[in-house]
Structure 1
Amino acid sequence: MPVSVTMPRLGESVTEGTVTRWLKQEGETVEVDEPLLEVSTDKVDTEIPSPAAGVLSRIVVAEDETAEVGSELAVISGEGESAGSDAPQEDEAAEPEQAEPATEPTAAAEGTGPEPEQEQEQEQPKAQAAPASSGAGTAVKMPALGESVTEGTVTRWLKQVGETVEVDEPLLEVSTDKVDTEIPSPVAGTVLEIKVPEDETAAVGADLAIIGTADAAPAESAPEPEPAPKAEAKPAPKAEPKPEPEVAEPTPGAGYNEPAAEAESAAQPAKAEQAAQPAAPTATPARSSATAQGGGEEAAGYVTPLVRKLAGEHGVDLASVNGTGVGGRIRKQDVLEAAEKAKAAKAAPAPTPQPAAAAPAKPAAKAQPSAKRGSTEKLPRIRATIAKRMQQSLHEMAQLTTVIEVDVTRIAKLRTQAKEPFQQRHGVKLSFLPFFALAAIEALQTYPIVNASMDLDAGTITYPDAEHLGIAVDTERGLMVPVIHGAGDLNLGGIAKRIADLAERTRTNKISPDEIAGATFTLTNTGSRGALFDTPIVPSPQSAMLGTGAVVKRPVVVNDPDLGEVVAVRSMVYLALSYDHRLIDGADAARFLVAVKERLEGGNFEAELGL
């Protein structure tokens, strides 16, 4: 029985999602829970697993198209059903050739003549449809890259017409109001046509380019009766011996001997597989060596098979390569540049005057960002979305910021004592941020007005029954705020682990939609970049947001029990609370900040640290 793949609910308030990329194409097999496609919403980008094992028989929603929650995305058929549907087409396509000279079988079949004719008429268009798509190549469509995204802009083509491309190799870069990302090639082949040039916008599901695949010739040679004209459109230069398919089929395998590892997935005939076998052993060690050298995909982020293979061939450590692609993805050019630099580094120590020549190479690398000077570029959609939300928040609220200075010297000493045991016990580093978070959560429990939200039109104030703490995370795509739900139930170690986990998965785009929604109070650590303090903008519908500055040592007047007022070097930090003055009074904000200050300056965290 065919199984329908539907759009799941990817968040409390999410009503639709956009298909950004199909990880499987029609006709390919898929296992249960194997990633089938990637979906993007305004909350998060995530993979959708297959609900059943079988063959992806039909894709209903193309890439860059948006579908509502619960709507059908694709259909998966059982492997037996897929094989059965294909076999009759080949048998019936061959039957008419034998039916012409055989007079007796046709007379015997006259009793059931109308039904076979109808079946042939219905199945012949199907046989024509497959060669039509393969003869014209595979269309690369604009994927859906967000919940409300209906279009995307092609910012750069990484491949041009006539160039070859491998499966999953980055083909172009697309920008929306949600994200800037690379679109990989769904198949291996040659770029036959680019339909949408750079800096032009296309709707979700629109054709961006046409790629001719290596398996086009075998696909067209099967239905010879009617699709003959279409078969001549593309395979003319490659499959010249058309009357002898057994001779023509091994030709692509021999002609594409180097990328045979990628071509094997096209299910070519036995002779083509035998021709591709010599190249397979070379591809396998290349990938394994790349994984061993680069530390795997976890060390270098998402890496395409082509890049892994290339890194293995050149002996490049992927963990040491800085990706220049969207989101820091490592591209083929990055690997080649790293290989050239490695060769230059080996040759440099031979002559002694080389260090002087190496100095000008660094300014050349730094000069790349300066290319934007004096230029104008299109505003990325994700930046436009952030701008609209920030402006809307300022218009909706009467925002005010109150700043307080806190002495965290005792916490600094505790961190020095507990750093190593804490990391061994919890697996994460002990920074100042978990202390700030814990103190803020305890103050929210004492002063719930800071954790509340107001509906002016309805005339209501809502006090949540828990503290859901948002943590602002700086990513390549822009500022994102994952949420620690029920943060009031966690201790210092639990908060530290959740912060580290959410930050890592947010930067690697592995966060789920529900983990980005539902914050009642947000904490932003601008001090991690050296800022003393700032005035955060409160995200609606929250009513307050706390900004933590850099912890710095400076001379401060302190009251010593024995010496009185003395000047001492202390670790100091500024805490800035921005709040909606329509709901929170200045006195409420001050009381909240003083509660945080007293908790931090008291430094009574020994029990939390196991000291």
Structure 2
Amino acid sequence: MAQVLEFKLPDLGEGLTEAEIVRWLVEVGDVVAIDQPVVEVETAKAMVEVPCPYGGVVTARFGEEGSELPVGAPLLTVAVGATEAPASPAPSTSSASSASSAGTPAAEEPSAGSGNVLVGYGTGAPAARRRRIRPERVGTSAAPAPAPVVEHEPVPVAVPAAAGEVNGRQGPVAVVSPLVRRLARQHEIDLRRLAGSGPDGLILRADVDSAIRRAEEAARAQTRTTADGPVVAEAPTAGAAAPAAAAERIPLRGVRGAVADKLSRSRSEIPDATCWVDADATELMAARAAMNAASGPSGGPKVSVLALLARICTAALARYPELNSTVDTAAREIVRLPGVHLGFAAQTERGLVVPVVRDAHTRNAESIGAEIARLTELARTGKLSPAQLTGGTFTLNNYGVFGVDGSTPIINHPEAAMLGVGRIMPKPWVHNGELAVRQVVQLSLTFDHRVCDGGTAGGFLRYVADCVEQPAVLLRTL
């Protein structure tokens, strides 16, 4: 006998409380293997494929694509030990015989749950290819496989709704999404009167939205009716002003919502200040060209300007550790952090993200550059994990890629400082007492005034500028 186990949306880590369903990777009736990704969700930090810890037949999905589910809400149910997808009507003798003679293969026997799986990553077993089991083609002669022993206690699955009349016939209401049910209750929509547009008459959110719109239109038409009869709208006269277009409303959720929350918290909690300086980056650019030329055509990856600036930042933080800290507001303490986990701002199609280079203080420029390149590629493809987007202690923001010279960046809460870098471009500059065209860049430092005063912030920024202007200064710290 098969056991129907309920798989709930797991805690994806880093304090996340909800996730948006981006794309279902399985359908009802599909056979899934242990740790096979079943749904792609977007959290406030990353896009994650969620693996199922059970193997068996998917019997129900909860939530539609585009809807948000809280952590702990039902995600799907799996019949563990089932050899066929559940079918409501029992087939007749003749149909069962024909189905049996069709030779439809049964689903593989599922094994036990995967146990303690790192959610979002699985145990590394290769995912099995999806196979759709159609109830009308499954033979009744096959004996069901024995139910395996699972580590998790089976969770009883409630029937989606009480039986009642559905579109003129008796049967359960075909709704599996709790969000759809809640939306219908809020707008007093009788689900038993709706015809679902989903598979097997499943009622989707679009069906409920359509019913809500019809109800609203009926209500508006009723308000326009007077005791003498319906009011006929007059045709618009020539030259009349067109109705104003409705304002577009964009939900603040996902990455955009997380950025909004963090920036708002930063502005409300951190008394920040900004200082900036122009620096002659001609020597830094020459040093970079020499490094890359020395590596040769096949001597490895090229060193980027961002990697050199990141290495300069780690050297500056070693001299000014006050800026590699955070503030414990509850204890009223400044917490100086032992290592530098360097975040760098990256603009993607999903919004602004800040990947983190772990232990940047132990890396050289080449190692930092390779890690930045790796994390940037993951950011562009939306494959960064929540762990790769959290835990930073200092952020480097290269807004010069947008063609701007300066900015006053907002601190990435709960960090204490952020270095902003503008574009490097030729400008007139006094060099060795003479006017010359040099490669000039503007550097700006936004810092938490609680962790240090202007003297410390100015010293940090001046050291960074000195390393940009004279890269040999950095040799003293290597």
Question: Which residue of structure 2 aligns with residue 531 of structure 1?
Answer: 404
Contact 1:11/1:43, CA 8 A, preserved across alignment: no
SS at match of 2:447: strand
Task: Please report how far the alpha carbon of residue 509 of structure 1 lies from its aligned counterpart in structure 2 after TM superposition.
Answer: 1.6
Match status 1:451 vs 2:313: no
Q: Alignment identity in percent?
A: 31
Contact 1:61/1:67, CA 8 A, preserved across alignment: no
Question: Which residue of structure 1 aligns with residue 248 of structure 2?
Answer: 377
Contact 2:466/2:473, CA 8 A, preserved across alignment: no
Contact 1:57/1:82, CA 8 A, preserved across alignment: no
Distance in 1 (alpha carbons) for counterparts of 2:199 and 2:315: 51
Question: Which of the numbers 269, 292, 307 marks the counterpart of 1:434?
Answer: 307
Task: Please report how far the alpha carbon of residue 587 of structure 1 lies from its aligned counterpart in structure 2 after TM superposition.
Answer: 0.5
Q: For the structure 1 residues 418 and 460, does the alpha-carbon distance in structure 2 shift closer, same or farther, using more than 3 Å as the test? A: same
Question: Which residue of structure 1 aligns with residue 71 of structure 2?
Answer: 68
Task: Please report how far the alpha carbon of residue 536 of structure 1 lies from its aligned counterpart in structure 2 after TM superposition.
Answer: 0.6
SS at match of 2:277: strand
Distance in 2 (alpha carbons) for counterparts of 1:198 and 1:549: 53
Task: Please report how far the alpha carbon of residue 188 of structure 1 lies from its aligned counterpart in structure 2 after TM superposition.
Answer: 13
Contact 1:62/1:141, CA 8 A, preserved across alignment: no
Distance in 1 (alpha carbons) for counterparts of 2:199 and 2:90: 26
Task: Please report how far the alpha carbon of residue 482 of structure 1 lies from its aligned counterpart in structure 2 after TM superposition.
Answer: 1.8
* Paired amino acid for 1:512: S
SS at match of 2:455: helix
User: Residue by residue, what CA displacement relative to the aligned partner does 1:393-422 show, whole Å, maximum 9, x if unpaired?
Assistant: 222222111102222212212333444748
What is the TM-score normalised by the length of structure 2?
0.63
Question: Which residue of structure 2 aligns with residue 172 of structure 1?
Answer: none
Q: For the structure 1 residues 187 and 519, does the alpha-carbon distance in structure 2 shift closer, same or farther, using more than 3 Å as the test? A: farther
* Paired amino acid for 2:77: V
* Paired amino acid for 1:31: A
The 5 Å alignment of 1:217-232 reads: none
* Paired amino acid for 2:328: D
Contact 2:397/2:420, CA 8 A, preserved across alignment: yes
Task: Please report how far the alpha carbon of residue 592 of structure 1 lies from its aligned counterpart in structure 2 after TM superposition.
Answer: 0.9
Distance in 2 (alpha carbons) for counterparts of 1:138 and 1:473: 41
Distance in 1 (alpha carbons) for counterparts of 2:343 and 2:7: 33
The 5 Å alignment of 1:20-31 reads: 20-31=22-33
* Paired amino acid for 1:21: R
Question: Which residue of structure 2 aligns with residue 542 of structure 1?
Answer: 415
Distance in 2 (alpha carbons) for counterparts of 1:199 and 1:393: 40
Match status 1:464 vs 2:477: no
Match status 1:580 vs 2:448: yes
* Paired amino acid for 1:195: V
Q: What is the RMSD of the two structures over their aligned residues, measured on CA atoms?
A: 4.4
Q: For the structure 1 residues 404 and 84, does the alpha-carbon distance in structure 2 shift closer, same or farther, using more than 3 Å as the test? A: closer
The 5 Å alignment of 1:342-491 reads: 376-382=247-253, 386-419=259-292, 421=295, 424-427=298-301, 430-491=303-364
Distance in 2 (alpha carbons) for counterparts of 1:88 and 1:503: 53
Distance in 2 (alpha carbons) for counterparts of 1:558 and 1:539: 36
Task: Please report how far the alpha carbon of residue 6 of structure 1 lies from its aligned counterpart in structure 2 after TM superposition.
Answer: 4.4
User: Residue by residue, what CA displacement relative to the aligned partner does 1:411-469 show, whole Å, maximum 9, x if unpaired?
Assistant: 21233344474884545x54311111111122112211101111234211111121111
SS at match of 2:374: helix
User: Residue by residue, what CA displacement relative to the aligned partner does 1:338-376 show, whole Å, maximum 9, x if unpaired?
Assistant: xxxxxxxxxxxxxxxxxxxxxxxxxxxxxxxxxxx9973
Question: Which residue of structure 2 aligns with residue 37 of structure 1?
Answer: 39
Q: For the structure 1 residues 425 and 76, does the alpha-carbon distance in structure 2 shift closer, same or farther, using more than 3 Å as the test? A: farther
Distance in 2 (alpha carbons) for counterparts of 1:73 and 1:405: 54
Question: Which residue of structure 1 aligns with residue 14 of structure 2?
Answer: 12
Distance in 2 (alpha carbons) for counterparts of 1:87 and 1:142: 24
Distance in 2 (alpha carbons) for counterparts of 1:497 and 1:186: 48
Task: Please report how far the alpha carbon of residue 197 of structure 1 lies from its aligned counterpart in structure 2 after TM superposition.
Answer: 5.6
Question: Which residue of structure 2 aligns with residue 551 of structure 1?
Answer: 424
Q: Gaps (5+ residues) in structure 2?
A: 97-158, 184-196, 214-243
Task: Please report how far the alpha carbon of residue 62 of structure 1 lies from its aligned counterpart in structure 2 after TM superposition.
Answer: 5.8
Task: Please report how far the alpha carbon of residue 61 of structure 1 lies from its aligned counterpart in structure 2 after TM superposition.
Answer: 5.9
SS at match of 1:81: coil
Distance in 1 (alpha carbons) for counterparts of 2:468 and 2:332: 36
Q: For the structure 1 residues 384 and 26, does the alpha-carbon distance in structure 2 shift closer, same or farther, using more than 3 Å as the test? A: closer
Task: Please report how far the alpha carbon of residue 513 of structure 1 lies from its aligned counterpart in structure 2 after TM superposition.
Answer: 1.1
Match status 1:83 vs 2:96: no
Q: For the structure 1 residues 487 and 8, does the alpha-carbon distance in structure 2 shift closer, same or farther, using more than 3 Å as the test? A: farther
Q: For the structure 1 residues 84 and 199, does the alpha-carbon distance in structure 2 shift closer, same or farther, using more than 3 Å as the test? A: closer
* Paired amino acid for 1:90: P
Match status 1:54 vs 2:67: no
Distance in 1 (alpha carbons) for counterparts of 2:260 and 2:8: 33
SS at match of 2:395: strand
SS at match of 2:309: helix
Distance in 1 (alpha carbons) for counterparts of 2:212 and 2:387: 33
457-466 vs 59-68, which deviates more? Answer: 59-68
SS at match of 1:458: coil
Distance in 2 (alpha carbons) for counterparts of 1:55 and 1:423: 54
Q: Gaps (5+ residues) in structure 1?
A: 96-121, 144-149, 152-164, 166-184, 201-372, 560-564
Distance in 1 (alpha carbons) for counterparts of 2:199 and 2:453: 56
* Paired amino acid for 2:69: T
Task: Please report how far the alpha carbon of residue 538 of structure 1 lies from its aligned counterpart in structure 2 after TM superposition.
Answer: 1.0
The structure with the largest helix share of the pair is 1
Question: Which residue of structure 2 aligns with residue 517 of structure 1?
Answer: 390
Q: For the structure 1 residues 75 and 197, does the alpha-carbon distance in structure 2 shift closer, same or farther, using more than 3 Å as the test? A: closer
Question: Which residue of structure 1 aligns with residue 217 of structure 2?
Answer: none
Contact 1:451/1:521, CA 8 A, preserved across alignment: yes
Bigger relative contact order, structure 1 or 2, given CA contacts below 8 A and separation 6+?
2
Match status 1:196 vs 2:209: yes
Question: Which of the numbers 471, 474, 478 marks the counterpart of 1:603?
Answer: 471
The 5 Å alignment of 1:21-420 reads: 21-59=23-61, 64-68=67-71, 73-78=75-80, 81-83=82-84, 89-90=90-91, 194-196=207-209, 376-382=247-253, 386-419=259-292
Distance in 2 (alpha carbons) for counterparts of 1:192 and 1:50: 24
User: Residue by residue, what CA displacement relative to the aligned partner does 1:188-231 show, whole Å, maximum 9, x if unpaired?
Assistant: 99x9974326999xxxxxxxxxxxxxxxxxxxxxxxxxxxxxxx
Match status 1:594 vs 2:465: no
Distance in 1 (alpha carbons) for counterparts of 2:212 and 2:402: 34
Distance in 2 (alpha carbons) for counterparts of 1:198 and 1:87: 27
Q: For the structure 1 residues 61 and 84, does the alpha-carbon distance in structure 2 shift closer, same or farther, using more than 3 Å as the test? A: closer
Distance in 2 (alpha carbons) for counterparts of 1:65 and 1:503: 27
What is the TM-score normalised by the length of structure 1?
0.50
Distance in 1 (alpha carbons) for counterparts of 2:361 and 2:288: 22
Number of residue equivalences: 358
